[in-house]
Amino acid sequence: MLDAGIRLEPERARVVRALSQAAPDQWPPRDVQRLKEGMDPTAAGIPQKRIFGSNYPYRDAVEHLGLVSEGVGLEASLALGGFSTVWGGSMLPCLAADVTDWPITVPQLAEHYQAVLELTGLSAERDAISELWPLYLDAPGHLEASRQAQAMQKVMDRHRERLRQAGIHHGRARVAIKAARGPSEPGCVYCGMCMYGCPYGYIYSSENSLSRLKQAGDFRYQPDVIVRTVQESADRVKICGYHRVTREPLEFEAERVYLAGGVIPTTGILLRSLEAYDRPVQIKDSHYFLLPVALFKRIPNVRHEPLHALSQLYVEIRDPKVSPHTVHLQVYSYSDLIGRTISGTLGPLAKWLPFLARELEGRLLLIQGYLHSAESSQIRATLRRNPADRNDTLSLQAEASPLARAVVHRVVRKLLGQSHRLGVVPLPMLLQMNKPGRSFHAGGSFPMRANPNAFETDLCGRPAGLRRVHAVDATILPSIPATTITLTVMANAHRIGCETP
């Protein structure tokens, strides 16, 4: 495995190791604050989600990938584990109706969904959304919901049939967090640190899988490599790049290559390898928005409640009057970040009117919403030469779609009309529409086709004209459903690995 492999700074890693060996009530406050550095929320959200107070998942990507962005929220990662180090852990498969433009079907992915979930682990419940989105796992873990989430779910459960008739399906969030299964198998301790990084490593990261692979006899890991091009011959592939630190040119040879760097790095490698300069490709995006909602009933003392801070509930909208595709909503209850956002928004009022802050903290939940790429903006990616220094740049330019805003406003109206059955009131005045790519659910620049043309790939992720180079990440998804992207990307990669001739 060739990887840039940027890691967490040693001094922060030492703090994480120390906390992982103690119970949360024994953590030194100074160390906890150290791991929360750089996460300063505003009314518009978190500028950049860090891990253990570090920005290492994003570090040096612009420089090494030659990125030039205009109006784009999408970023790339050169970290060991990539963006799985900072993701939200949500794992929901695709619905067949949302991938009708794909050359493969959801049943073809079923065994691969199961294989992935056995690898990552999953905490979930068998509930109403399982009727449309199977669990693909016999014995998922169980996480306790926060009291705010329980209050909202209780109202929705009471009106389940009427919500279903209105095209709204709900259930517990499915997250790749290890849940405790008794003393012999420890798991989540509800310390509320999820958004900053789990010191115990209970949130899945591909770094976990890499650690296991390193112990295998037929696996070798090579860090500090920036791959630039892949070149096929009759029976080999030459991989050209350089050392991330020394800039020394590097070359490797292999019988077959799988590209899994994420949509930006993989798109750049393919365009450069095909010498496709000044030829734009379209990166599809699942548009992302934030909608605060208020519970009808305040839940007291949420600030001191033991909980996990990732998504608590899913709400899926399947209503053709809103969208022909699923609209995916993830509900987040109180967390330290929400509390800090409220305090920052209230300013001096938080100090002089503490009851107001407590009232808001007890009622406020946050919905992260996602749209299908067919109704979202796109990103035009173009590789350009730089004759001055013989390097090149990958230009990312947003192509906004007014349809995304229209669909989001229909979602808000839908939720307002069903608020008495949802147990929450949307706050449309606080709605935040984000830049294209800000969801980090993006791909499709080299989409899979049954009969691929130029700048498309076959069912094994091979660009037209290539036989030994396979792209296996989101780069090859023909469209991006609103439901979470990671599970399907991993399942499709597993499928390609199993089906490679």
Structural domain range at position 333: 10-499
Confidence of residue 244 (pLDDT cuts 50, 70, 90): very high
Domain assignment present for residue 310? The answer is: yes
330 has pLDDT over 60: yes
Q: For the ranges 75-79, 170-174, 333-337, 413-417, which has the lowest average pLDDT? A: 333-337
Q: Considering the domain boundaries, does residue 67 fall inside one?
A: yes
Is residue 2 one of the residues assigned to a domain?
A: no
Q: Average pLDDT, whole number, for the chain?
A: 93
Q: Indicate the burial class of 389 (C-beta count within 10 angstroms; 0-12, 13-18, 19 or more).
A: exposed
Among 101-115, 126-140, 218-232, 344-358, whose mean pLDDT is lowest?
344-358
User: Which tens digits make up the pLDDT trace of 13-43?
Assistant: 999 999 999 999 999 999 999 999 988 766 5
Distance CA 229, CA 232 (A): 10
Helix (H, G, I), strand (E, B) or coil at 410: helix
Tens of pLDDT along 180-196?
Answer: 987 888 999 999 999 99
Tokens of 413: 């109206």
Q: What is the pLDDT of residue 338?
A: 80
The pLDDT assigned to 354 comes to 62
Structure confidence at residue 355 (pLDDT): 64
Say if residues 379 and 398 touch (Cβ distance below 8 Å): yes
pLDDT at 347: 58
What is the reported pLDDT for 183?
81
- Looking at the 3D structure of the chain, how many domains does it have? 1
Name the 3-class secondary structure at 377: coil
Instruction: Return the pLDDT at 359.
Output: 81
Which SS3 state, helix, strand or coil, does residue 152 take? helix
Burial class (CB in 10 A: 0-12, 13-18, 19+), 30: exposed
Contact criterion met (CB below 8 Å) for 134 and 117: no
44-53, 79-88, 218-227: segment of lowest average pLDDT? 44-53
CA 67: distance to chain centroid?
21
Residue 3 in domain: no
- On whether residue 436 sits in a domain, the answer given is yes
Inter-residue contact 95 to 117 (CB < 8 Å): no
Mean pLDDT of 286-304: 93
C-alpha distance from residue 82 to each of 4, 57, 75, 86 (Å): 10, 6, 11, 8
In a domain, 4, yes or no: no
Whether residue 429 lies inside any domain: the answer is yes
pLDDT digits (tens, 9 = 90+) for 111-170: 999 999 999 999 999 999 999 999 999 999 999 999 999 999 999 999 999 999 999 999
Contact 397, 382 (CB under 8 A): yes
- Look at residue 352 in the predicted model and tell me its pLDDT: 54
The rounded percent of the chain whose pLDDT value lies above 70 is 95
For residue 102, tell me if it sits in a domain.
yes
Instruction: Extract the tokens encoding 137.
Output: 């796992």
Local confidence band at 312 (pLDDT 50, 70, 90 cut-offs): very high
Digit-coded pLDDT (tens) for 201-216: 999 999 989 988 988 8
Comparing 223-232, 257-266, 321-330, 360-369, which segment has the lowest mean pLDDT? 360-369
Among residues 283, 132, 363, 335, which one has the least CA distance to residue 355? 363
Instruction: Kindly tell me if the per-residue pLDDT of 350 is higher than 60.
Output: no
User: For position 186, what pLDDT does the model report?
Assistant: 93
pLDDT digits (tens, 9 = 90+) for 436-475: 999 999 999 999 999 999 999 999 999 988 999 999 999 9
Assign 345 a pLDDT band (cuts: 50, 70, 90).
low
